[in-house]
Every structure is written in C-alpha cells, then in structure tokens.
C-alpha cells in the first residue's frame, strides 16, 4: 500500500506542476500590447483596441491604492498632468484593486499613511481596475504577492509596446513620463 501511495504521488507531481504553474509572461519592446477592457475610476470602461490607430497609450501599473509610493505617484501625475496633456496619447494608472478602492483613491485629496497625511489633488485621469488579475497577468506585472509591480508601459498607436519602465520613481512619475514620450517621438497636439 505504501508503494502504491508513493507511486501515485510521483505520477501526480508533474501534472500538478503543469496545471498550477504557468511561466510568467515577459513582454518586450515591439510586442503587441495585450488588449484589455477595464472599468475605471471615472465610471467608464476603457478598451485598448479603441485607441489603436488613433493615439498612443500609457499604462502605469501600481501595487496598491492609498499606499505610500502609489499615493506619491498619483500625486505626481495629478499635479503635473499639464506635462502630459500636450501629447497625442492617453494615460492611465492601473492596479488589481477593486474598482471601489480605485474610485476612492482617485477622489481622495489626502491620504493617511501611518502618522503622516499626504495632501494631493484628485486624479484627473482614469485609474483602471483589474480585480480578476487577468490583464495584470497578461502584461506580466503580477507579483508573487498578488499585486502589480510598479511598471509603466508605453504603447504606440499601432498597439505595439514602445517602452517598458521597470524602474518608476513615484516622486517624478509625470516628469519621467513626459521625458519618455518625447524620447519616443510621440507627437504633440
């Protein structure tokens, strides 16, 4: 009996590995960006396909609403959006948080972080919500902790990835995004 149980366990191991473990997606510059249809903090649903052939898209993934780095990144984008609005593109922040959390985060003018309160403007851009984590997985941003990595994807009008920033600095997110758009040659309006 003991041998039978051991034999069954040995047979089941490769199956459990094959079923449970998927290789993480690793997108590269030049790849087609995975399409998405996600609800946003402004009450709309955005589809990447709707922008194809019209304008570039920037998706700034962040780990968790109302946390230190994410609040600072949102603050940078809200307070310095004028640096981005002249480009022929649309930009989003995105997380795997429930939509209600992202709505509250977008509307917040102050966020309590421990003993500190960070004052910020309301987000004047949509924050996308991916609670199923399917889109985050397709972009390869889902971390082992179950939240998105802080990575920004620059997607061209043709739907191809122009750049991926895996070293986002929350404090200068808007300035860095504007510099990258200029470097990539994204047209201005």
Sheet strands side by side (includes 37-40): 45-47, 37-40, 127-129, 89-95, 56-61, 152-155, 161-165
Give the rounded distance of the alpha carbon of 164 from its chain centre.
11
Query: Residue 59 contacts by C-beta under 8 Å, 6 or more apart in sequence?
Result: 91, 92, 94, 128, 139, 152, 153, 155
Residue of 48, 70, 94, 111 marked active site? 70
Closest CA to 155 of 46, 35, 75, 43: 35
Active site residue 70: yes
Cα 73 from Cα 186, distance rounded (Å): 22
Pairing of strands 127-129, 37-40: antiparallel
CA–CA separation, 179 and 83 (whole Å):
9
- Residues acting as catalytic residues: 70
């Amino acid at each position: 009996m003991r041998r039978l149980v051991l034999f069954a366990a040995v047979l089941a191991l490769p199956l459990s590995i094959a079923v449970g473990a998927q290789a993480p997606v690793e997108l590269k510059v030049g790849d087609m960006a995975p399409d998405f249809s996600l609800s946003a903090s402004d009450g709309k649903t955005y589809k990447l396909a709707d922008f194809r052939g019209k304008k570039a898209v920037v998706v700034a993934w962040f780990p968790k609403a109302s946390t230190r780095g994410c609040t600072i990144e949102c603050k940078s984008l809200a307070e310095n959006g004028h640096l981005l609005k002249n480009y022929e593109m649309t930009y989003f922040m995105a997380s795997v948080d429930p939509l209600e959390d992202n709505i509250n985060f977008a509307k917040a003018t102050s966020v309590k972080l421990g003993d500190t309160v960070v004052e910020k403007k309301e987000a004047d851009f949509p924050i996308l919500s991916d609670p199923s984590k399917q889109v985050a997985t397709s972009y390869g941003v889902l971390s082992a902790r179950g939240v998105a990595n802080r990575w920004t994807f620059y997607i061209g009008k043709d739907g191809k990835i122009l750049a991926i920033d895996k070293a986002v600095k929350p404090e200068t997110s808007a300035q860095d995004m504007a510099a990258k758009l200029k470097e990539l040659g994204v047209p201005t309006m």
